[in-house]
Structures are given as C-alpha cells and as structure tokens.
Amino acid sequence: MSTILFEQIVFGPIHSRRLGSSLGVNLLPLHGKWCSFDCIYCECGWNKDGRKDHQLHDVEDIKAALTTRLKSLKENGTVINSITFSGNGEPTMHPHFPEIIDTTIRLRDELYPDAKISVLSNATQIRNDKVRDALLRVDNPILKIDSAIEDIVNWINKPQPGYSLSETIERLKQMSGKYILQTMFLKGSNDGRYVDCTSEENAKAWQDLVREIRPRSVMMYTIDRETPAKDLQKVTVEEMEKIAAPLRAEGFEIQIRG
C-alpha cells in the first residue's frame, strides 16, 4: 500500500476541511510510524512496517523548527488557522509533549494569536495527568473513540496491551466536555471477521457513549485513502447522518466528513 509519512517536523500549511489552513507538526519519527494503536485504516500503515525509525525529535529541534517556520510564514503573510499536531503516529507519546505544547502556545500568542492549536490524538495517554492537562490547554483536543464496544475497538484499533476502553471513557468524563470526539465509521472484513460500524448495535452503543461523555462537539468520518487492511469500505454520509440525527436533536454539535 502507499503509506503517507510526514518527512518533516513542521509541514504545510495544508487545507483541512475541518481546521482551515493547517500547519502540521509531527513529533514522531520522520521515516516510520509510532503509535499505541495499530488501526486497520491508518494512513501511515501498520506499526510493524514503520519500526525501522525509532528516532524521536529532540525538544530543542522541535522548538527551533516551529519557531523558524512560523516566523517565515508570518513574514510572507501566510494565513494559518490551526497549528495541528498529527503526523506519523500518536503525538502525545512524545515524552516532552506537555512542554512542547506550552512552547507552541507561547509562539502562537506571539506570532499567530488568531490561530487555534489542535491535537489529533487516540486518547490513550490521557491516563497520564500531565498529558491530559496539556490537551486541556489547547483549543482543539480532538480525541478518538471509534466504538463503545470493546471487541470492536480491539478489531478496529488493535490497541497495545494495557489499554482499557472503560478507563479511557472514565478519564474523558473527567475532562468535562472540553474536547472534540472523533469517530471513524467503516465496514469490512479483517482478521476473519466482518464488522459494520453502522450496525444498530454499534450505532446505539456509540450514541449512548456520546450522551455519557458529552464532548464539546463530535466529528464523524469515514475512510478516505488506501488502508493497510485490504477489505474495508467507506460508509455513506447518509448512514452517518442517520446515526447523528437523534444526537443532533438532543443538541449535540456533529460534523460529518464523507
């Protein structure tokens, strides 16, 4: 498959439908993937194929790369709506993630005061208070829960041993709705099992989860590019609309990306 790896610490800005002009920050290895999940749909490919590069960026290199790029973009008059942490895996796994966020906030306030700071995260590290608090300091912590059913999470996300969906849900509840929930919907076969994320059982469990954790808003999306698991299909916008409808009627703000 063609995987997408970001071979720079700071990349873009790229246009994001969700975030506008988005300057990406990749805290993970430049030539490999590093993540606590191994999602069957991950655009970076399987973890096992990205393990040749374990080199995490030094904090000072990250600060220097971000400072240089933001200054040069400002000099050129480039608009940036979001400074977005994503890249080749899970950004909160960088051991200096909280410090990097504080530096980014300082730089943003100085150079791009109107830009938001966004973090795309699989929420596995919110059990660490320092990571959770850093996520609460950014404008858009976008946290992934792909299903409220544990064996579907195991099928779709392949978490590392020690991950607990119920613990993650409890931690999310303690964040008092100050985050955006992101959920992937797909259907297809992998590991000899067929799953349809739009099934009545999964949809109902997910709706109940949203009611329980009450995020600030919700992003529903489906696969967009080639996936490491070969037998997966997109779901339709109409299928996601149907799942979103009762929640919208209850006042939840939901974006859908087909």
Residues that bind ligand SF4 (CB under 6 A): 35, 37-39, 42, 44, 89-90, 122
Please state the closest distance from residue 17 (CB atom) to ligand SF4, in A.
17
Cα(13)–Cα(84) distance, integer angstroms:
10
Q: Two tokens at 3?
A: 């995987």
Closer by beta carbon to ligand SF4, 35 or else 240: 35
Please state the closest distance from residue 47 (CB atom) to ligand SF4, in A.
7
> Burial letters for 148-167: b for 16+ Cβ neighbours within 10 Å, e otherwise?
bbeebbebbbbbeeebebee
Please state the closest distance from residue 122 (CB atom) to ligand SF4, in A.
4
Residue among 149, 219, 146 at smallest CA distance from 181: 219
Cα(7)–Cα(30) distance, integer angstroms:
5
Please state the closest distance from residue 29 (CB atom) to ligand SF4, in A.
12
Please state the closest distance from residue 203 (CB atom) to ligand SF4, in A.
21
Closer by beta carbon to ligand SF4, 35 or else 243: 35
Cα(185)–Cα(196) distance, integer angstroms:
8
Closer by beta carbon to ligand SF4, 35 or else 175: 35
Closer by beta carbon to ligand SF4, 6 or else 205: 6
Closer by beta carbon to ligand SF4, 70 or else 100: 100
Q: CA dihedral defined by 12, 133, 61, 57, rounded to 10 degrees?
A: -90
